[in-house]
Structure 1
Amino acid sequence: MSPDGVEREAISHRTAGTTPWPDTGPPSDGAALATGPPPAARLSDPSDPTVQSLPVSDVFAALDGSPRGLTHGEATARQTRYGRNELPRVRQAHLWQRLIAQFTDLFAVVLLVSSAITFLAYGLERPRDPATIQLAVAIFAVVLLNAGIGFAQEYSAERTAESLQAMVPHTCRVLRDGEPGELPARDLVPGDVVLLEAGDAVPADCRLVEAHEVAVNNAALTGESDSVARVAEQVPVGPPLEARNCVFMGTDVVGGTGKAVVSATGTATEFGRIFRLTAAAPRQRTPLQHQVAAMARRVAGVALTTGAVLFAVRVPSGQPFVNTFVFSLGVMVALVPEGLPATLSVSLAIGVRRMARRHALVKQLLAVEALGSTSVVCTDKTGTLTQAEMTVVQVWANGVSHAVAGVGYRPVGEIVDAGCVRNLLRTAALCSNARLVPPTGRDGWRVLGDTTEGALLVAAMKAGLDPAQEETGSPRVTEYPFDSVRKLMSTVHRAADGTYIACVKGAPLELLARCKTIDREGTRKPFTEASRAEVVTAADAMAAQGLRVLAVAGRQTSSPHPGPGDVESELTLLGLAGMYDPPRPEVREAVDACRTAGIRVVMVTGDHPLTAEAVARRVGIVRGPSPSVVTGAQLDALNDDGVDALLAGSAELLLCRVGPEHKMRVVTAFQRLGEVVAVTGDGANDAPALKHADIGVAMGASGTDVAREAAVMVLLDDSFASITAAVGLGRSVYRNIRKFLIYLFSHNIAELVPILAATFAGFPLVPITAVQILAIDLGSDVLPALALGAEPAEADVMDSPPRPRRERLFSTSVMGRIMFLGGIQAIGVCAVFFWHIHASGIPYGAFTKNDPVYREAITMVQAGIVVSQFFNALAVRTDRQSVFRAGLLTNPWLLAAGGFGIALMAAISYTPPLQTVFNTAPLAAADWAVLAAFGALLLAAEEARKWVVRRHGVRSKGGRR
């Protein structure tokens, strides 16, 4: 790996201002500049890319502007033509729309229709039965309760959404009528002259006409964290983002000062283009949304069909029409899990809170579970896998490599034999425009300016130098900024003895060609071919480790203002500095956890392939000798089938130099392959992919507002490890959802079977009424289901591969357990009901609703379901492991919830007001003992099933041990 190859991408891009010496040579790439339109011409579109090819003298004419800026009258007229310099605000649904949406769930629709029909039945029946109106009101109350809980949870989870408008700076400095002034950025129009300096956010797309050491950070648009130089001179026509004389909305000026003419505003900007792309990307439904919708359709279909069949069976037998209709509605209500929507919402909300404690803020409840099914993570590099803090880790001088300890911008760490490298680091620190800022408040050490130069300042401080004191002792008198042609930066300083010294740093191969001598322990030695080969070997060794390599040199000069040819010739090479953006220490373990969990990690970055591969190897994404490294240009050359084949066939894949369209195309291709895709990003360029992914994950600390708006999850600490933790929590949530589904639907069987048995046995009344069913579903079952939804994640949650995208929520194993547990409960409650009826000796036809024996029998059925559900809740906590081994007391909330349900049942049985509502009767102690025995039998049967599963080594497809 050539250091020159690394340096073409990695060198500190100091700003190239208006060149202070004549530049008569050709452009760096050898291309001829486009001639552009004559000075008098006008571009029909201010955002026309050919504006970059114009000389400064023609820019004002082409953009219909003036060096004095626009007049206020012209600005007003243009704002009418072009509109305000702002992006359309994200339209949020009104609160009433969000609330109404809660009633469109299929379960809610079925229950609302049932309630309406029951109200109608009450109006038609003669005499009117108060139980009918109680049922109608109860069903409607269930819908209201579910809607209220769902609305509250979603509104709370989405409160962190931020406005895209915050990306545009509020004010900017412009020239109007020849006078500088400040005005709101939204009032900018094409042709305005904007004044820029370090620290400003660029308010619109602009063409520079003056540039004095201007450097910008385009990370929000390109994903590359390095600052890049900007010039005022014309450049060849090409992609707008590659134009070195243009700056763009949403980016930041990190160095220098300049003057620029606005070429595009609002949605016509590059930022606006990405905004439009993001708006066009559909928000993907999560796997759980698809599965819950399918489940709701099936359950509703079964409920309606069963109710209709029973109605058709009972009407010919002579039963009153209205009573039979209400009976059929009761059966339908028995099959609809009324408590499921509320339980699901609260369970997901518990997952949201748990993820927030792990630094992952989830804005949409259903995204919690979707994380658990993630099979591919497309991750950004800078800031997510790395710390976004360049660090010097090696310094080569005097023929020896010196290790530098410490990570990040905190100037703490030792340099091996620091005295040998102090002169090199002093020279590098002087040849720098960055500034190191000490910690303030919650912020740690920070760098203002170029991060590469900041790393050199930190290394100098580790060597015992004070950069500010050195600058004071040797003040700068001349600077020749870095540019992409020379690949060097030079400064001239006045030494304490009155002489002048030149400090130069830059790409090794460029700088070595200008060296005449080399420093050897303070003595200048001739720079021979052997010396050159030694330095190149050292640079290659650093580059092979993925380090960015800078060479540092110096010389004495007789003049305070020598020409660049004098400053950058006959230099004395001081040595090399190797640096990199260190990976976060926790990332490698997190990547390993993803491998164990069967989750594929793909790096998608705008950075150079060599840098990307080096980081990928450090964090464990790449382990093999030959990963697939693909650039955005190579993706463009592939059709969709080719992209699919590439993604499916490459075990270790790095996608580099990619833009927003590439990233979204990759996400779409993975989804075509059946993968559930999570995407990380921090810039506006990531927003389309973040929105289109199954799970968009934005950076909270370093990310832009547009990225956070498009994502459904925000990492508060920007760490990849938080994604892995969130995936584990998401898997746990899915497992818990299956637990309470088994718990809820198994007792639905116990509610339905007695009704069916009574119908076909010719018993005229129902063994359990619809009001009793609602009491069980909402009063006795919801809290235990919530407690099951709050079960902590098991240790093996990341030890199995992700479930397939199309795997059903009701898998064969889940349905088997529902039928097994529900069947045992159904047999028990049928036995106690018919035993009680037969023991009375009263013929079936003689029973009425108010008969004490009948009331005791239906009370036994309701209490039997409640008691057996207490034992059922304990049974479903695990698939294979014995609940006694897991610990009966490890989920105290479950025991408390089950105890509450039994206490509520006791109140329904013994308190007169509730007896009136539910038509129940008091139970004897012997009755409770019989019911408890049935519940214990259910737990014993489930333990026996688990023992058989463990003995035969069959792993449940439900995912639990």
Structure 2
Amino acid sequence: MPSRLTARAPAARTARATGIASPHDASAPPVQRLRTDEVFTAFGGSPRGLSAGEAGARLETYGPNELPRPRRKGVWRRFAAQFTDLFALVLIAASALTFLAYALQDPRDVGNLQLAFAILGVVVLNAVIGFAQEYSAERTAQTLQAMVPHTCRVLRDGERLELPSAALVPGDLAVLEAGDAVPADCRVVEAHGLSVNNAPLTGESSSVGRVGEPTAADTALDSRNCVFMGTTVVAGSGKAVVYAIGASTEFGRIFRLTDEAPLQKTPLQREVAVMARRVAALAVGIGAGMFALRLQTGQPLVSAFVFALGVMVALVPEGLPATLSVSLAIGVRRMARRQALVKKLLAVEALGSTTVVCTDKTGTLTQAEMTVTRIWSDGTWHEVSGVGYAPAGDVSDAEGLGELLRSAVLCTDARLVPPAGAEGWRVLGDTTEGAILVAAAKAGLHPAAEKEAAPRIGEFPFDPVRKLMSTVHRTPAGDLLCAKGAPQELLARCRRIRLHSAEHELEAPLRDDVIAANDTMAAQGLRVLAVAVRPVGEPPATAEEAESDLTFLGLVGMLDPPRPEVAEAVRACHRAGIRIVMLTGDHPLTAEAIARRVGIVTDPAPTVVTGAGLDAMDAAALDELLAAPGQLLLCRVSPEHKMRVVAALQARGEVVAVTGDGANDAPALKHADIGVSMGATGTDVAREASEMVLLDDSFASITAAVELGRSVYRNIRKFLAYLFSHNIAELVPILAAAFAGFPLVPLTAVQILAIDLGSDVLPALALGAEPPEPDTMDRPPRSRRERLFSGELVRRFLFLGAVQSIGVCTVFFWQVHASGIPYADFTSDDPVYRKAITLTQAAIVVSQFFNALAVRTDRQSVFTVGLFSNPRLIAAGCFGIGLMAAISYVPLLQDVFNTAALNAVDWAVLVGFGVLLLAAEEARKWWVRRRPAPAVTGKETTP
């Protein structure tokens, strides 16, 4: 034994610090190449297992068999992050400067103190809304802990014990049986028909036989004598020596890949960041210019600063962060109703801009339930309907299949379990054997009764070298041997064939017929098993003796069936211009067959590349492969391969969505622009690493989510046009007053905040709730070159803002000029000035009501979609006007905002300007409709 196995604290610190979780000497041969006795020696164990004392010492040295806790930001850090938004930083600076201005004034103006607190309140409100939405919708941890089974069976001191899996240590001798979850990475030392399902780790749906002998494989993952944490034993039994625990397991490696993968910013995040920088720079620049201009005209320092601050506040859309968060949250709720749970708000829009979907096969496109679909017997094809483990379906001409299916059932160890509670039909044991049981039930047989009527008296378990399994049964007609396995292997051991209830010599023509039938099934992507029998006298002593002189009965073809709704979802993605690339750990023939069934592949010769082929490619070759037109299947790929492909697609400017359900998908799910995992059958690690979880595991939900995501983006542009048009209407009167020599501002900063938060947020949210337009999924994804602040959007809000500004300036200067008072004589307490700034604020609020109606459509007339078809928008607009009326008439609010009461004529004039704004926008749309729609300039994608 290496001396470090008996070390205590120092060794424990070293082991945990370096990630070592095995006493195996790194310079020794790889674990998969050791003989059984060498395995025990290398890990300090024995066929009796470890002693209790030695196990306790190793637990102290190497720590528990647990994966590291995920890195999580604390609640306060996540809340503090809300204040790092650029708009928030600008407003915080403005608030601080306003506090400073209040402190420097003599006498002090309480209005500046109110303004400072108001600006700070806006920042806090935005932070609270953003944090609440993110905290309620997002779980960012990437943990594999739930994949580790809670208990395991081990031998210690020769006794079989059941222990918590966390207590497992290197060198322990684990006992494995059908249905067990493997508790750690282990080297098999004893196997009796042992078979495991590695799908959660590798993505390959078929079970894989395990042996106890050494192999020449290059890695443990590729060897047939190692089993891995989180996988499942589907058949047989065995014993295995633990050689890696916790973070040093293959699951631990995937955990590190997932944990280290950088979080990708969504397209909307990048667009909003660019927009925020530009708007903030523009606001600060114009504010600074106005400050300098006012100083040159002889205005006091503090007065000039307050004026410049009003300009800056007018340009910053204070309500945008909250509006954006809540609008995305509306999209989240809509997607939840479509069985798509979104954990990150910005992922809503990211999915809508997807150009490529990289999809897994097993559990995503397929049901992860092997199903018999075709049987060949008596030279005849028999079709089997129904999918999954529920014995619902039919077998064509089932009368002629009784002997074949009965023999196949007898040669199985699996058990079909009926529904219980929330669980449906399921299989305990090998999934291919489960498929045989289901097919037999569909043909009218009762598997349990057949096994009881012909009890097993001998068996030769499946061996990956023989690729066969055979059992001996006691029947009324005498002992019978039943065999099943790979067609090539079984056919070589057959001398006769059963045709039409009679036996015939299996001569060359008949043998060729069997081979042709097998090739037909293989070309369809089916997994094929052959079935044969022979009567026996004395029980055979060896497998070679038993599996000879057989009578061939037929072939059984099965597959993991595609989900029925996937084909239509794939067609919808193609119509929407989204490319689909399959990334799977399965065999190329199986992958291509499924891809053809669901419509991902339609070309006669698609491009199929394996993981080994990807390893041989450098970055340029991979880029060329991904850039080539046509349909692409990537098979036998590892988690590293998936991450590399996703990164290469992103480097090409694609917006990549990745779907998956297994732990092997987790790194790619996290690295993608949008990770989509399966909620019902997916692993915990996949769900935690993704931004969206399909609650019904339906690929079709992706299509619905894409449609909603696209509508979210279009709705965001609608409320951006709405918000920024009134920012112009707030800024232009202030600038006009400055250039006209008016000493006061037509709109104070507090009034601007009241408009931005009190009158604009709710209508903007109502615009964000507009339903998708009918042709949303008939358009290609928008180009990556298209910006959120596109030329079309800017022209639109400039046009709307200009029309609003004309009305706002008109009512302000009309009120000022009508009084006959010289500009220099106006003071902030003058009743005429107070009414003038009230008219300015009210003009913006009323015109925004009509503006909200105008921006609901891009080209169509609002009267076509229905002027009042969005009742939330009407209610929000009425709320804003009602708030404005309160500011005008309630004495307390009059004191806060320095406003005055408006009369009926004033309101009639304001409504008139609002109608003119709506008419102007309708005229613009009419002109746009007369011209042909612009061609899409975005990159076309190949379906």
TM-score, L = length of structure 1: 0.93
Counterpart Cα distance in 2 of 1:489 and 1:402: 24
Instruction: Indicate the residue corresponding to 2:281 in structure 1.
Output: 301
How much does 1:81 deviate?
Answer: 3.4
Aligned-partner residue type, residue 361 of structure 1: L
1:443-494 Cα offsets, whole Å, 9 max, x none, are 2211122221111111101111000000000011222222222222211111
Which of residues 824, 847, 866 in structure 1 aligns to 2:826? 847
Which of residues 789, 806, 813 in structure 2 aligns to 1:827? 806
Instruction: Indicate the residue corresponding to 1:417 in structure 2.
Output: 397
Counterpart Cα distance in 2 of 1:671 and 1:159: 24
Deviates more, 1:290-299 or 1:72-81: 72-81
Counterpart Cα distance in 1 of 2:672 and 2:243: 33
Instruction: Indicate the residue corresponding to 1:31 in structure 2.
Output: none
Report if aligned partners of 1:206, 1:246 keep a CA contact under 8 Å in 2. Answer: yes
How much does 1:721 deviate?
Answer: 1.2
Which of residues 402, 413, 425 in structure 2 aligns to 1:445? 425
Aligned-partner residue type, residue 44 of structure 2: D
* SS class of match (1:573): strand
How much does 1:159 deviate?
Answer: 4.8
Deviates more, 1:734-743 or 1:186-195: 186-195
* SS class of match (2:881): helix
Counterpart Cα distance in 2 of 1:578 and 1:328: 78
Counterpart Cα distance in 2 of 1:909 and 1:561: 102
The answer as to 2:476 corresponding to 1:496 is: yes
* SS class of match (2:777): coil
* SS class of match (2:427): strand
* SS class of match (2:30): helix
The answer as to 2:679 corresponding to 1:692 is: no
Aligned-partner residue type, residue 241 of structure 1: L
1:338-386 Cα offsets, whole Å, 9 max, x none, are 1111111111111111111222111111111111111111000011111
Structure 1 segments unaligned to the other structure (5+ residues): 1-41
Which of residues 610, 617, 620 in structure 1 aligns to 2:596? 617
Counterpart Cα distance in 2 of 1:561 and 1:937: 98
Instruction: Indicate the residue corresponding to 2:865 in structure 1.
Output: 886
1:258-287 Cα offsets, whole Å, 9 max, x none, are 211111112221111122222222111111
Aligned-partner residue type, residue 532 of structure 1: R
Which of residues 632, 648, 653 in structure 2 aligns to 1:674? 653
Percent identity reads 70
From the superposition, tell whether residues 675 and 205 of structure 1 become closer, same or farther in structure 2 (CA, over 3 Å).
same
The answer as to 2:313 corresponding to 1:348 is: no
From the superposition, tell whether residues 619 and 136 of structure 1 become closer, same or farther in structure 2 (CA, over 3 Å).
same
Q: For 1:93-132, list aligned pairs within 5 A.
A: 93-132=73-112
Deviates more, 1:240-249 or 1:158-167: 158-167
Counterpart Cα distance in 2 of 1:356 and 1:124: 53
Which of residues 545, 553, 570 in structure 1 aligns to 2:549? 570
The answer as to 2:525 corresponding to 1:546 is: yes
Report if aligned partners of 1:119, 1:132 keep a CA contact under 8 Å in 2. Answer: yes
Report if aligned partners of 1:949, 1:955 keep a CA contact under 8 Å in 2. Answer: no
Counterpart Cα distance in 2 of 1:543 and 1:920: 82
Instruction: Indicate the residue corresponding to 1:937 in structure 2.
Output: 916
Which of residues 357, 363, 367 in structure 1 aligns to 2:347? 367
How much does 1:80 deviate?
Answer: 3.8
Instruction: Indicate the residue corresponding to 2:535 in structure 1.
Output: 556
Which of residues 798, 804, 810 in structure 1 aligns to 2:789? 810
Aligned-partner residue type, residue 129 of structure 1: D
The answer as to 2:71 corresponding to 1:84 is: no
The answer as to 2:202 corresponding to 1:222 is: yes
Report if aligned partners of 2:178, 2:237 keep a CA contact under 8 Å in 1. Answer: yes
Aligned-partner residue type, residue 546 of structure 1: G
Counterpart Cα distance in 2 of 1:76 and 1:699: 39
Counterpart Cα distance in 2 of 1:386 and 1:61: 44
* SS class of match (1:421): helix
* SS class of match (2:71): coil
* SS class of match (1:183): strand
The answer as to 2:750 corresponding to 1:779 is: no
Aligned-partner residue type, residue 398 of structure 2: A
* SS class of match (2:633): strand
Instruction: Indicate the residue corresponding to 2:19 in structure 1.
Output: none
Q: For 1:313-328, list aligned pairs within 5 A.
A: 313-328=293-308
Report if aligned partners of 1:405, 1:415 keep a CA contact under 8 Å in 2. Answer: yes
How much does 1:249 deviate?
Answer: 1.2
Which of residues 319, 336, 352 in structure 2 aligns to 1:339? 319
Instruction: Indicate the residue corresponding to 2:12 in structure 1.
Output: none
Aligned-partner residue type, residue 103 of structure 2: G
Report if aligned partners of 1:879, 1:958 keep a CA contact under 8 Å in 2. Answer: no
The answer as to 2:891 corresponding to 1:912 is: yes
From the superposition, tell whether residues 525 and 742 of structure 1 become closer, same or farther in structure 2 (CA, over 3 Å).
same
Deviates more, 1:749-758 or 1:543-552: 543-552
1:688-731 Cα offsets, whole Å, 9 max, x none, are 11111111112222222222222111121222111121111111
From the superposition, tell whether residues 79 and 863 of structure 1 become closer, same or farther in structure 2 (CA, over 3 Å).
same
How much does 1:561 deviate?
Answer: 4.1
How much does 1:153 deviate?
Answer: 0.6
Deviates more, 1:838-847 or 1:762-771: 838-847
Counterpart Cα distance in 1 of 2:58 and 2:629: 52
How much does 1:739 deviate?
Answer: 0.9
Aligned-partner residue type, residue 167 of structure 1: M
From the superposition, tell whether residues 655 and 617 of structure 1 become closer, same or farther in structure 2 (CA, over 3 Å).
same
Report if aligned partners of 2:142, 2:258 keep a CA contact under 8 Å in 1. Answer: no
Instruction: Indicate the residue corresponding to 2:455 in structure 1.
Output: 475
Report if aligned partners of 2:193, 2:463 keep a CA contact under 8 Å in 1. Answer: no
Instruction: Indicate the residue corresponding to 2:643 in structure 1.
Output: 664
1:761-810 Cα offsets, whole Å, 9 max, x none, are 00011111111100000000000011111111122111111123343210
Aligned-partner residue type, residue 586 of structure 2: D
* SS class of match (1:240): coil
Instruction: Indicate the residue corresponding to 1:654 in structure 2.
Output: 633
Aligned-partner residue type, residue 534 of structure 2: R
From the superposition, tell whether residues 958 and 935 of structure 1 become closer, same or farther in structure 2 (CA, over 3 Å).
farther
Counterpart Cα distance in 2 of 1:355 and 1:958: 29
The answer as to 2:919 corresponding to 1:946 is: no
Counterpart Cα distance in 1 of 2:514 and 2:217: 38
Report if aligned partners of 2:847, 2:910 keep a CA contact under 8 Å in 1. Answer: yes
From the superposition, tell whether residues 45 and 735 of structure 1 become closer, same or farther in structure 2 (CA, over 3 Å).
farther
How much does 1:161 deviate?
Answer: 5.4
1:69-122 Cα offsets, whole Å, 9 max, x none, are 222332233234333322210021111111111111111111111111111111
Instruction: Indicate the residue corresponding to 1:512 in structure 2.
Output: 491
* SS class of match (1:135): helix
How much does 1:411 deviate?
Answer: 0.9
Instruction: Indicate the residue corresponding to 1:377 in structure 2.
Output: 357
Aligned-partner residue type, residue 642 of structure 2: K
Report if aligned partners of 1:47, 1:263 keep a CA contact under 8 Å in 2. Answer: no
Aligned-partner residue type, residue 157 of structure 2: D
Deviates more, 1:688-697 or 1:664-673: 688-697
Q: RMSD of aligned C-alpha atoms?
A: 1.7
Which of residues 621, 634, 642 in structure 1 aligns to 2:613? 634
Instruction: Indicate the residue corresponding to 2:192 in structure 1.
Output: 212
Report if aligned partners of 1:161, 1:363 keep a CA contact under 8 Å in 2. Answer: no
How much does 1:179 deviate?
Answer: 2.5
Structure 2 segments unaligned to the other structure (5+ residues): 1-21, 939-943
1:197-246 Cα offsets, whole Å, 9 max, x none, are 22222111111122222221111211112221111122124221121111
Which of residues 187, 192, 209 in structure 1 aligns to 2:167? 187
Report if aligned partners of 1:69, 1:178 keep a CA contact under 8 Å in 2. Answer: yes
* SS class of match (1:123): helix
Counterpart Cα distance in 1 of 2:614 and 2:873: 53
Report if aligned partners of 2:861, 2:922 keep a CA contact under 8 Å in 1. Answer: yes
Instruction: Indicate the residue corresponding to 2:731 in structure 1.
Output: 752
How much does 1:162 deviate?
Answer: 7.1
Deviates more, 1:695-704 or 1:627-636: 695-704
Instruction: Indicate the residue corresponding to 1:35 in structure 2.
Output: none
How much does 1:442 deviate?
Answer: 2.1
How much does 1:568 deviate?
Answer: 1.4
Aligned-partner residue type, residue 452 of structure 1: T
Counterpart Cα distance in 2 of 1:583 and 1:59: 42
